[in-house]
């Protein structure tokens, strides 16, 4: 009994790499200050797109993009807690988007819940453990970051869903306009 499994192909790897680059560009140049050092990071739009398009593999968009961003821009260098938090966000959201539901509202709810797990729970606990920070203070700061990141993820989910809908609509429209003729001589390969 042969099973059909979907593997990563070159197109998927290139798509993930391009979304990772988009994550970096949006994170470098499109941050809006919310409160103090907390910013609305539009890089999460690319993470949401990666999760919808590539499932759990889309987690690499957020993790690698966040790694590059923190190494290049942060005064403190690479942030393991952001890296792991984005990896968890991408894995949970990607799994839900790929295997559990096609409903946009449920995908957005899953994305918001995964940001809660990745930022409020995992990132807070890691930073409290690594840097001996008080949990009460760090959790409040990360709750504000959770709101900002959830907003970007929701926008990314909606944008990707609409773009994919338009693309699929054009794709099915173009299937009716075939360039090949029925005879074998003129078939374009």
Q: Residue 114 — φ and ψ, nearest 5°?
A: -70, -35
C-alpha 181, offset from chain centre: 42
Q: What is residue 159's predicted lDDT score, i.e. its pLDDT?
A: 94
Q: What is the pLDDT along the chain (189 residues), one digit of tens a residue?
A: 444 446 678 888 999 999 999 999 998 888 888 777 777 889 999 999 999 999 999 999 999 998 888 888 777 777 888 899 999 999 999 999 999 988 999 999 999 999 999 999 999 999 999 888 899 888 988 898 899 899 999 999 999 999 888 888 777 776 655 555 455 555 555
Report CA dihedral (59, 61, 64, 69) to the nearest 10 degrees. Answer: -130
Structure tokens at 125: 């606990």
Q: Which residues lie across from 59 on neighbouring strands?
A: none
Contacts of 90 (CB under 8 A, 6+ apart): 47, 50, 51, 56, 58, 59, 60, 61, 62, 63
CA-nearest of 77, 78, 74, 45 to 161 is: 45
Q: What is residue 58's predicted lDDT score, i.e. its pLDDT?
A: 92
Q: Residue 33 — φ and ψ, nearest 5°?
A: -65, 130
Asked if residues 144 and 35 have their Cβ atoms less than 8 Å apart, the reply is yes
Q: Residue 40 — φ and ψ, nearest 5°?
A: -80, 115
């Amino acid at each position: 009994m042969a099973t059909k499994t979907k593997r990563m192909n070159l197109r998927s790897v290139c798509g993930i790499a391009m979304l990772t680059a988009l994550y970096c560009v949006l994170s470098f140049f499109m941050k809006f200050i919310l409160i103090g050092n907390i910013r609305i990071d539009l890089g999460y739009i690319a993470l949401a797109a990666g999760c919808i398009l590539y499932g759990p593999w889309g987690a690499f968009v957020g993790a690698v993009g966040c790694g590059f961003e923190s190494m290049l821009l942060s005064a403190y260098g690479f942030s393991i807690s952001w890296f792991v938090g984005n990896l968890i966000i991408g894995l949970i959201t990607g799994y839900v988007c790929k295997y559990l539901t096609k409903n946009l509202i449920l995908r957005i709810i899953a994305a918001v819940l995964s940001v809660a797990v990745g930022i409020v729970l995992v990132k807070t606990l890691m930073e409290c453990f690594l840097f001996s920070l008080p949990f009460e203070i760090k959790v409040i700061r990360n709750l504000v970051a959770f709101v900002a990141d959830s907003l970007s993820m929701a926008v990314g989910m909606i944008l990707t869903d609409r773009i994919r809908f338009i693309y699929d609509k054009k794709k099915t429209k173009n299937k009716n306009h075939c360039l090949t003729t029925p005879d074998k001589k003129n078939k374009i390969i």
